[in-house]
Amino acid sequence: MDLQEGVIPALAVDTPVDYESLTQLGSIMGSGGMIVMDQNTNMVDVARFFMEFCMDKSCGKCIPCRVGTVQLHRLLTKIRQGEASLADLELLEELCDMVKYTSLCGLGQSAPNPVFSTLRYFRDEYLALINSTTQ
């Protein structure tokens, strides 16, 4: 996977590396690069790392990408630090949807992908960090 694309779980290890199969899984082909991670990697950290990349690479022309990536990065940091509530998780998903569909170019449109795919396959890792806090 490329830096801006989806995270897919171990059970999809037999997926053919082609455009259609990876799109179905919520990822994209990109340049065909792949990063393999084991269970020691926190998936919220992964999403946060990718979001930091997008935040730095945003050109700043359109509002959803310029502000959205910063806000998403802040929310992911808040979740990682165990300070987020369920409402923050809801806001995270709402922001992801908005940034994806309103951004001007491909950078903003694909910036929420790592959050979408980690939420899709590793939602329990997000919930574990949220449940441990008092709301």
Instruction: Kindly list the residues in this chain that would bind other proteins in the complex (CB under 8 A).
Output: 55-64, 66-71, 74-75, 91, 94-95, 98, 101-104
CB of 94 to other proteins, least distance (A): 8
Question: For the CA atoms of the chain, what is the radius of gyration?
Answer: 14
Whichever of 58 and 118 has its CB closer to other proteins, that residue is: 58
Whichever of 70 and 127 has its CB closer to other proteins, that residue is: 70
> Which helix (H) or strand (E) element contains residue 50?
helix 43-57
Whichever of 74 and 80 has its CB closer to other proteins, that residue is: 74
Can you tell me which residue has the tokens 């830096």?
Answer: 3
Identify the CA nearest to 69 among candidates 86, 43, 90, 48.
48
Identify the CA nearest to 18 among candidates 4, 32, 36.
32
CB of 61 to other proteins, least distance (A): 5
CB of 41 to other proteins, least distance (A): 26
